[in-house]
Structure 1
């Protein structure tokens, strides 16, 4: 998560380093997330065939290599390629960990374990907002990103030496003769309404908070709301802490009451949309601090709610295709994030005048997120009915 979110506090530094505008800046995050989303199904197939440990080790190598290349990039093209490599490694991480957890814990506890896993990852996001932002200011671009890349050495060693994929006697990878062709594996997973519902739940709940945390949060607060970097970093830390708290609540709730999945989903979507409406409708485009605090606390629920989508995929697929189904569902939020990131960037550039990015341009640009939110909500309603008939 430190690797994934590192650009979120470095957006303004990237603009100065590479001499780019908002559209080009959004391309960094869009490409990273697009590669992540595109790799989900291939990674799921790799996990189902070779086991999560090997895929996880490869992911760590790619994450570290991409981050190191990003640290030494001084022009837009090489830096963009580095974020693509990082996105590929990122794609191999989370669903590998979920596959390991599914082998070690009973099915009823998997929603809680998934939320706890996400909570630990959110701790990495906290490091990004609380530590990385300060390191960029004090130590500079190359030193900071190179140091993050070196963290991969320790992570690789721990996974290689300590990770056990499953308890003794539990099969991790099926025999070669028992594996269906890749196309059939994908087709079977997609045919399950629970897999598709999981994709759209993940798509709709994740996109506002992910787009804000990955890229546009710091510019919105600094350029659009007139905050200092330290003040903006403090608010982004609040987003992370809220994410961790909601993760614990949702994990326990969904583990005990599986029927709470849809109520949780619609509550998070509705509350997020309402808070953004209040912020964007505020006269002058600069709402009071208390309303921004409420917005960030509510958006902290987005990440934990998106994991409900992965729980749908897990609950409606057998273990031998869990990686594939999880990969399909996990694509959703990142496709939604790509659409949101790029749409906001294009609108910022097209609406900005000689004064640059003002509170008014940010207000109209962020209205874009209601388009994917509306589409995703409609698909959840339709697929929920289909799942009920299945």
Structure 2
């Protein structure tokens, strides 16, 4: 019995070697994701400017991010299937072309409709990046490195968010809308050249099985991939992990954090930008810690997920219940805790990865990745509608976070035990196989 799972210290037969060349090729893929995150989060520092440029209200403003995430979430399974079938290079090439075109279009948008179309195009390209990068990691690094490789990819992606909050926000204040977004779009053209000339799907001697691209394709291939991935409790537990952990931090960074800090908490835009930067820095630090802890202690996954959700809910509740404006110390704690949401969501891939064979990793990752972005999209919409309905009452609008956290935590608790049990069975089989096959 084969599996993509690997117990610590065990090298499975056929494991990729890793090494310097793997770091170089994988680094190109991660750079694509970095640029995509920069574009994805650029609206987070331009929300107030967008309302003025297009003359829109809170609901219309949230439509930008909702449409972008709707496209992103809706494409996760198709993209996962395409990655499994076509490989990473083709998908990343297409992704770079689409999100760069979307960023250029957003830069020159003179109407709300054109801006919406541009964000949808950007979301389409963005949707092709992270799953491809995860697949690239499984093709170039040993399976035991999976948790750390995935968390580092997410960490570097968050550095794109750091560029948004530290650099793009200041450029926007100085040079205005079109020069800022058009200038940032040039980064996509640069990374496109690296993908074309240097990226490879897998190391020599580690080609995927021939039958994967053979006569078993078409509708049968699609149906089989989705069915087999969904059948695994680890895939579904991973999806709900991603769902319940990611969205509070995503919603805050992607759109509503800056308006909340400026309009509800009375901070100036500079201070609010620094707090958004703190969320990103916390995300990067937590990503390193979570990756190392899970790589060494797989049983820590559940405590980390539950702890992240409970801490987020507790700090959110304290902030929203605080009479008047919250003190700066509490806002700092809020931003630090929100930074753990992204790394917490990445644990979802550590549930799905051991549950699925290498040839099914893209499809399974697509299912998992749908979770958090579906929750984010739902919350973005709910906050926008509630703000308009309540006259910009952020306490009521942001309370919608608790509803989705409760739903996600119940589903995670229901599936976790089954996922762990199946994973333990695979680990035993992997140990037996490793004993009988020379390394």
C-alpha separation between the residues in 2 aligned to 1:308 and 1:40? Answer: 17
CA RMSD of aligned residues (A): 1.1
Deviations 1:1-27 (A, max 9, x none): 101100000000000000000000001
SS in 2 for 1:283: coil
Per the TM alignment, residue 313 of structure 1 is displaced from its structure 2 partner at its CA by: 1.2
C-alpha separation between the residues in 1 aligned to 2:78 and 2:213? Answer: 19
Q: What aligned pairs does 1:258-269 form with structure 2 within 5 A after superposition?
A: 258-269=298-309
Per the TM alignment, residue 384 of structure 1 is displaced from its structure 2 partner at its CA by: 1.4
Partner of residue 146, structure 1: 182
Partner of residue 308, structure 1: 347
Q: Which of 80, 85, 96 matches 1:44?
A: 80
Partner of residue 109, structure 1: 145
Q: Give aligned pairs, total.
A: 382
Matched, 1:372 2:382: no
Deviations 1:122-180 (A, max 9, x none): 11110000011111111010111111111101111111111122111111473413555
Partner of residue 18, structure 2: none
Whether the aligned pair in 1 keeps the contact of 2:102 and 2:120 (CA below 8 Å) is yes
Whether the aligned pair in 1 keeps the contact of 2:248 and 2:376 (CA below 8 Å) is yes
Q: Which of 353, 366, 372 matches 1:327?
A: 366
Matched, 1:381 2:421: no
Whether the aligned pair in 2 keeps the contact of 1:101 and 1:113 (CA below 8 Å) is yes
When structure 1 is superposed on structure 2, of 173-182 and 275-284 the one drifting more is 173-182
Matched, 1:11 2:47: yes
SS in 2 for 1:74: coil
Whether the aligned pair in 1 keeps the contact of 2:47 and 2:61 (CA below 8 Å) is yes
Partner of residue 238, structure 1: 278
Partner of residue 8, structure 2: none
Whether the aligned pair in 1 keeps the contact of 2:290 and 2:343 (CA below 8 Å) is yes
Matched, 1:337 2:390: no
C-alpha separation between the residues in 1 aligned to 2:419 and 2:98? Answer: 37
Partner of residue 394, structure 2: 362
Deviations 1:84-117 (A, max 9, x none): 1100100000110110110111111110011111
SS in 1 for 2:201: coil
SS in 2 for 1:375: helix
Deviations 1:210-269 (A, max 9, x none): 000000000000111111110100010100000000000000011111111111000000
Partner of residue 91, structure 1: 127
C-alpha separation between the residues in 1 aligned to 2:272 and 2:201? Answer: 40
Partner of residue 202, structure 1: 242
C-alpha separation between the residues in 2 aligned to 1:103 and 1:244? Answer: 24
SS in 2 for 1:69: helix
Partner of residue 176, structure 1: 214
Whether the aligned pair in 1 keeps the contact of 2:107 and 2:178 (CA below 8 Å) is yes
Deviations 1:48-99 (A, max 9, x none): 1100111001000000001111111111111101101100100000110110
Whether the aligned pair in 2 keeps the contact of 1:211 and 1:337 (CA below 8 Å) is yes
C-alpha separation between the residues in 1 aligned to 2:310 and 2:249? Answer: 14
The answer for unaligned runs of 5 or more in structure 2 is 1-36, 423-439
Partner of residue 385, structure 2: 346
Q: Which of 67, 78, 89 matches 2:103?
A: 67
C-alpha separation between the residues in 2 aligned to 1:305 and 1:255? Answer: 14
Partner of residue 161, structure 1: 197
C-alpha separation between the residues in 1 aligned to 2:213 and 2:172? Answer: 49
C-alpha separation between the residues in 2 aligned to 1:330 and 1:375? Answer: 17
Larger radius of gyration: 2
SS in 2 for 1:315: coil
TM-score, normalising length: structure 2: 0.86
Matched, 1:137 2:173: yes
Partner of residue 25, structure 1: 61
Per the TM alignment, residue 388 of structure 1 is displaced from its structure 2 partner at its CA by: 4.8
Whether the aligned pair in 1 keeps the contact of 2:351 and 2:419 (CA below 8 Å) is no
Whether the aligned pair in 1 keeps the contact of 2:68 and 2:122 (CA below 8 Å) is yes
C-alpha separation between the residues in 1 aligned to 2:373 and 2:208? Answer: 27
The answer for unaligned runs of 5 or more in structure 1 is none
